[in-house]
């Protein structure tokens, strides 16, 4: 081999010089091979080069080798290798075929650091894009999980967000390769790892035992913003201690600054959207959101040929409460009414506040006219009980008007108008009763 390369000079190079036979077996590697790939030269002599290539890059690497042996000079071919320590090395090759010696001569240049920098910049850009494009926090977290999984093992990944009102952590996003259930909210107290990360804003890498007793790495990184720590991003390895390194900690800390900013922006957007769509006193959908849902419900009813019920509710003599007991008591009563109405319908139905003491209930997927009156009767029964408001107990009765699709109208404004008219008829008849719109109204 001394006739093929000047060993003393070649061993001074930072790039690794490699010579392989037609079957791809190493015949010679320079000393720089160990620095780049982690193997002592003697450990790889006789081994096939392709065995060390990243599995996802083997097919195109073999294709490149065939191209070289056909007489084509290969410049700047890039692929990945698995180092002896299990880390991935990114390599840029220059190679040629020496027909007289029947060997391939190649020079390997380590571009791992450059690739890491490029991937981090790409990740930051992708996270920023995701913050703008995501429909909600869960879809944002799913995209962030995908991005982070591109440069660090993230099979077990969760996001913990701090609820400052209850001083606890909630887990809006949780993925576990063992299909472990999403953790329940936990109090942020004591001296556990979450306390260290979220309360003190410190990245923590430690070994913990899983439920089956197998040790594994636990890597938590704070989601730090100028206003404080929003929560933590956590990676976990099951039964694989020492999977994560100090370098992984640094990479995640770098990326999590952008993640925290993305989460903060998404949370702010959701708060603004909620302010625009929900009544701030009762936390019920407001008129605009209700009308949007009514239009969507009508489209479903037409498509599935089902009935739809609209209940218009007005509180009897509510003005007297405000005039005699004050608006603060009136507000408490409205909050109690909202809660009681929610308890009378299914999760798929909508209770909304249109304004003042006017509420509306949208009931979908009805099969008979009796469905609406059953819900209305349930509301009357619920209102038979007094409302406990701090130091006093108040009785409040509703007047309820009912309109049905398609009997009382095909469009939202027709249904709402008919339900409103039926409610006024109920009020004229003394209130605390249900009236159904007439077909000719």
Summarize pLDDT for 177-196 with one digit per residue, the tens.
Answer: 888 888 889 888 766 888 88
Alpha helices in 40-180 (DSSP H): 41-44, 58-69, 112-133, 137-148
* pLDDT beyond 60 at 1: no
Asked, for residue 3, whether it belongs to a domain, the answer is: no
Domain span including residue 228: 115-276
Strands (E), 111-253: 157-163, 168-175, 186-187, 204-209, 215-225, 228-236
CATH for 92: 3.30.450.20
**Are 311 and 252 within one domain?**
no
Asked, for residue 99, whether it belongs to a domain, the answer is: yes
* The pLDDT of residue 13: 86
Q: What is the mean pLDDT of the chain?
A: 89
Which residues share a beta bridge with 236? 218
**Are 124 and 271 within one domain?**
yes
**Are 247 and 362 within one domain?**
no
* pLDDT beyond 90 at 283: yes
Comparison of pLDDT for 80 and 3, the residue scoring more: 80
Asked, for residue 345, whether it belongs to a domain, the answer is: yes
**Are 87 and 124 within one domain?**
no
* The pLDDT of residue 247: 81
Give tens-digit pLDDT for 358-413.
999 999 876 677 888 889 999 999 999 999 887 788 999 999 999 999 999 889 99
Average pLDDT over residues 218-235: 92
Give tens-digit pLDDT for 84-131.
988 889 999 999 999 999 999 999 999 999 988 888 888 888 888 888
**Are 257 and 372 within one domain?**
no
* The pLDDT of residue 371: 82
* pLDDT beyond 60 at 212: no
Q: Are 148 and 157 in contact (CB under 8 A)?
A: yes
CA atoms within 13 A on the CB side of 178: 10
**Exposure class string for 264-295: b at 16+ Cβ within 10 A, else e:** bebeeeeeeeeeeebbeebebbbbebbbebbe
Asked, for residue 168, whether it belongs to a domain, the answer is: yes
**Are 120 and 269 within one domain?**
yes
**Are 141 and 261 within one domain?**
yes
Give tens-digit pLDDT for 51-64.
999 999 999 999 99
Q: How many domains does the chain have?
A: 3
Asked, for residue 5, whether it belongs to a domain, the answer is: no
For residue 46, give both structure tokens: 């006789």
Of the pLDDT bands very low, low, confident and very high (cuts 50, 70, 90), residue 312 is very high
Can you tell me the distance from the alpha carbon of 31 to that of 9, in angstroms, rounded to the nearest whole number?
A: 11
CATH for 227: 3.30.450.40
Q: Which of 207-211, 270-274, 322-326, 340-344 shows the lowest mean pLDDT across its residues?
A: 207-211
**Are 124 and 254 within one domain?**
yes
Asked, for residue 2, whether it belongs to a domain, the answer is: no
Domain end (from 83, 110, 137): 110
Of the pLDDT bands very low, low, confident and very high (cuts 50, 70, 90), residue 241 is low
**Are 347 and 388 within one domain?**
yes
**Are 260 and 300 within one domain?**
no
* 0.75 exceeded by pTM: no
Helices 287-304 and 246-277 pack at an angle, to 10 degrees, of: 90
Average pLDDT over residues 294-307: 91
* pLDDT beyond 50 at 441: no
* The pLDDT of residue 419: 95
Comparison of pLDDT for 247 and 279, the residue scoring more: 279
Of the pLDDT bands very low, low, confident and very high (cuts 50, 70, 90), residue 242 is low
Domain end (from 110, 139, 166): 110
Burial class (CB in 10 A: 0-12, 13-18, 19+), 305: exposed
CATH for 326: 3.30.70.270
Highest mean pLDDT among 17-31, 135-149, 226-240, 252-266 belongs to 17-31
Of the pLDDT bands very low, low, confident and very high (cuts 50, 70, 90), residue 7 is low
Helix (H, G, I), strand (E, B) or coil at 237: coil
Of the pLDDT bands very low, low, confident and very high (cuts 50, 70, 90), residue 5 is very low
Asked, for residue 50, whether it belongs to a domain, the answer is: yes
Domain end (from 252, 276, 300): 276
**Are 146 and 223 within one domain?**
yes
Helix (H, G, I), strand (E, B) or coil at 79: strand
**Are 172 and 37 within one domain?**
no
433-436 and 398-405: which strand pairing?
A: parallel
* pLDDT beyond 70 at 83: yes
* The pLDDT of residue 133: 84
Asked, for residue 421, whether it belongs to a domain, the answer is: yes
């Amino acid at each position: 081999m001394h006739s093929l390369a000047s060993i003393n000079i070649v061993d001074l190079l930072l790039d690794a010089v490699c010579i392989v036979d037609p079957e791809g077996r190493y015949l010679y590697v320079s000393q720089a091979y160990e620095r780049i790939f982690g193997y002592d030269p003697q450990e790889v002599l006789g081994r096939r080069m392709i065995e060390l290539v990243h599995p996802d890059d083997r097919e195109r690497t073999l294709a490149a080798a065939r191209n070289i042996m056909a007489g084509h000079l290969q410049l700047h071919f890039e692929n990945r290798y698995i180092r002896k320590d299990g880390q991935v090395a990114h390599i840029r090759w220059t190679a040629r075929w020496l027909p007289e010696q029947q060997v391939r001569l190649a020079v390997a240049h380590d571009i791992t650091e450059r690739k890491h920098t490029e991937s981090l910049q790409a990740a930051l850009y992708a996270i920023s894009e995701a913050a703008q494009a995501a429909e909600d926090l869960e879809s944002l977290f799913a995209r962030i999980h995908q991005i982070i999984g591109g440069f660090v093992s993230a099979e077990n990944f969760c996001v913990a967000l701090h609820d400052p009102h209850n001083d606890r952590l909630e887990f809006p996003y949780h993925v576990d390769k063992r299909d472990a259930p999403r953790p329940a909210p936990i109090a942020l107290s004591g001296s556990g790892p979450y306390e260290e990360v979220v309360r003190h804003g410190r990245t923590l890498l430690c070994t913990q035992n899983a439920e089956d007793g197998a040790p594994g790495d636990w890597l938590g990184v704070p989601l730090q913003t100028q206003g404080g720590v929003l929560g933590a991003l956590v990676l976990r390895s099951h039964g694989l201690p020492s999977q994560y390194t100090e370098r992984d900690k640094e990479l995640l800390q770098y990326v999590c600054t952008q993640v925290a900013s993305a989460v903060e922006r998404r949370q702010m957007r959701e708060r603004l959207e909620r302010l625009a769509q929900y009544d701030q006193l009762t936390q019920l959908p407001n008129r605009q959101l209700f009308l949007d849902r009514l239009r969507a419900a009508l489209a479903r009813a037409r498509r599935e040929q089902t009935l739809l019920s609209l209940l218009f509710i007005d509180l009897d003599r509510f003005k007297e409460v405000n005039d005699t007991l004050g608006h603060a008591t009136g507000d408490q009563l409205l909050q109690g009414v909202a809660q009681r109405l929610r308890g009378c319908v299914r999760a798929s139905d909508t209770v909304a506040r249109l304004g003042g003491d006017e509420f509306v209930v949208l009931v979908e997927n009805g099969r008979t006219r009796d469905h609406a009156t059953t819900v209305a009767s349930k509301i009357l029964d619920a209102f038979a009980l007094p409302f406990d408001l701090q130091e006093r107990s108040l009785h409040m009765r509703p007047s309820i008007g009912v309109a049905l699709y398609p009997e009382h109208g095909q469009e939202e404004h027709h249904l709402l108008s008919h339900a409103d008219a039926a409610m006024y008829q109920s009020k004229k008849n003394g209130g605390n009763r249900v009236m159904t719109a007439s077909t000719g109204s």
